[in-house]
Structure 1
Amino acid sequence: MKTILAYGDSLTYGSDPLVQGGRHAYEDRWPTRLAAGLDKEARVIAEGLGGRTTVFDDFATTADRNGARILPTLIHSHAPLDAVVIMLGTNDMKSFICGDAFGAARGMKRLAEIVRAEAGDIPVLLVSPPHCIEPDGPALDPRFGEIIAESRRLAGHYQRVAAETGCHFFDAATVAKASRADGVHLDSANTRAIGDALAPIVKDMLGL
């Protein structure tokens, strides 16, 4: 059986935008739906942490949110891996973290390099997250308008990085959109949609 690492932030964790501190049911999270779509030929290890960035430190919160620092440990703790799916970048958009899509793309490139250095020449899928949108309630960041604009630039930068690094690419904004409850997180239907859309791509990556 193949083993896939799904590496991400709160969108991978399954944060529920309608319930403060809530989490979607296990079966509604995109890594679970991805696994279901692989017809029991692969298992998906979900490593999602709210606030995780690609390569940037966030000293304003608890735990280590720097994705580049944690990734090597997870690769080795779950070895051997057959593929890695990375969906990060939304937290990079925060004005006090990075604030632009180009910086997030540079971070994704570094993560791809880490996978290759630590896990060997296995398939890597870079996923650009759904766009941030105008929320119905208070914005999570005073510069949320700029965050929305930059989040729409992620896919173009990630696609270029994927081509440069020999990775696969998918734009999650083509199948999912953020909830207007906070403008960032996904309802259960949209997080399921990502897993369903990734299944045929991952099957092709692994020759399943």
Structure 2
Amino acid sequence: MSEDHQPETGEDETVIESYVAGCPIDPELAGQIVRLADLPWNDRDVTDSAMRGLGWSDDEVPTDEARFVTAAGHVVYGDYCLYLPFAHSYDVGGELWPDDFWGSLPGWSSQRGAGREEFEAHVDASIDRFAERLGPPECDVRTEGRHLAIGRYSWRYAAWRRGGNILVIGPALDGFSYAQDEEAVVYIGEFAKDSPFPDAADFLNLMHT
């Protein structure tokens, strides 16, 4: 991360600026995730073993809720699913969030002053990465719009069926923030073969089951 992303000495901590941080999904990681999407996600022994076999670590994870960390630095959550954030949109400044935490993590970089356009670019790039391996998404939808502190906007979700599972790329709310910060994630979870894809507005609930 460049020095531009570090707080300057003597900087006014009351100034709040928007940031977007990302840890891109490269072709190797995309291939690993596609293989994981074919596993039985109701069996933790199987999925734990598979993720360790990929070189992902379950030692010294950054939070109590984390399950693994990928070799590239992505934190993996979920007991019976894979929930892997690869981008965050957030504010830095003030008493609640004085430091650029996400941009300081190994494998991550952040951009000060970034906003909606930069965050959505991370989502689009990841969808394109998986489409290179899986073909176009079987479901590619946008919500009608949400309203957070940053304004009203829509979220894009792309999904593929993988046997009895679903692989989804899309945004969610960051559960660790005091405000309504966002994160873009890869999600894998069980999904009945005969189930229709959710409506765009229902993907957020699906990804937290």
Compute the TM-score of the two structures, normalised by the length of structure 1.
0.28
Compute the TM-score of the two structures, normalised by the length of structure 2.
0.28
**Higher-Rg member (1/2):** 2
